[in-house]
Amino acid sequence: MELRHLRYFIAVAEELHFSKAAERLHIAQPPLSQQIQQLEAELDVELFQRKTKRQVQLTEAGQVFLQEAYQLLAQLERAIELTQRTGRGERGQLRIGFTSLVTYDVLPVILRRFREEFPEVELILQELTTSQQEQALRDRSIHIGFAHPPLEDTTLSQECIHQASLIVALPEIHPLAKQQSISVRSLANESFIMFPRHLGPGLYDQILNLFCQIANFNPKVTQEAIQMQTIIGLVSAGMGIAIVASSLQNLQRSGVVYRPIEEVTPLIETAIIWQPDNITPVLDKFFQVIQIACS
């Protein structure tokens, strides 16, 4: 049985007239009659009772087959539609790696826009360090990452989508909080809260180089924390100060103030990273949304 048999049968069943059905299908009447005969022979059942040479009515078996044929065609049309939409990247799954830092600027905007345009794409988010994202891309457990260069794996593709300056986060009761901006040299005797280097060696080294190059001293790190929220929480508790990306100002915390740095500081880059040989239709749509959201 072929798909055309179902379409021909439905046309005859709805018109109850071979000539009218043939005209509707844009074929001659004799071939249509032959196709219906072949279908009945294959099913070994009579689907139509012939009232005249051209006019017919459905048998009880024909009525049952008509309802089933409607369902089969509807399922087929849905399968075709879903397949086409998946091929266009409008359905499917996208696994995304990200660092906590990007949740304060670019990532929410991109995700919100993508979900509005492609609500049937399942987004699976994993908070990972930059190095963990590189490994996840190699393992193909994520499709794309939001990370902070430089990367260790030079085979990965990357594109910078955002830059942020460095600022100082300090307790609001700290003497330096009264200043509008802060010089790096004035921080020589301060206690610093930082994340462990292995979580983000690129960003960690940029912060340390800031002190070495501008003020010629190494910061005294007295506390370490993994999450940016925790670092800001410790600042609020008076445990020290922190050098953070300017996007962290969006994380408002009682007892904490943010101040710009007087000297020229390196910019903290956020880049999307991906495997160049693993671009799916959904990922291609995601690239388009990123381009629009970050333009």
| Distance separating alpha carbons of residues 283 and 295, to the nearest angstrom | 18
Residues of the chain with pLDDT under 70: none
Q: How many domains does the chain have?
A: 3
pLDDT in tens, 187-243: 999 999 999 988 888 788 888 888 888 888 889 999 999 888 899 999 999 999 999
What pLDDT was estimated at residue 119?
94
Question: Could you report how far apart the first and last alpha carbons of the chain are, in Å?
Answer: 54
Same domain, 60 and 106: no
Single out the residue in 44, 66, 87 at which a domain terminates: 87
Instruction: Look at strands 220-224 and 191-194 and give their pairing.
Output: parallel
Single out the residue in 66, 87, 108 at which a domain terminates: 87
Structure tokens of 256? 């904490």
What pLDDT was estimated at residue 236?
95
What pLDDT was estimated at residue 3?
86
Domain that holds residue 100: 92-162+269-293
Same domain, 99 and 75: no
Structure tokens of 158? 């990357």
Residue 239 belongs to a domain with what CATH number?
A: 3.40.190.10
What pLDDT was estimated at residue 260?
95
**Can you point out the beta strands (E) in the chain?**
48-50, 56-58, 92-98, 121-127, 144-147, 157-164, 166-171, 191-194, 220-224, 242-245, 256-260, 268-274
Same domain, 255 and 233: yes
Same domain, 10 and 73: yes
pLDDT in tens, 59-72: 999 999 999 999 99
Same domain, 249 and 175: yes
What pLDDT was estimated at residue 210?
84
Q: Is 205 helix (H, G, I), strand (E, B) or coil?
A: helix
| Distance separating alpha carbons of residues 189 and 223, to the nearest angstrom | 15
What pLDDT was estimated at residue 235?
96
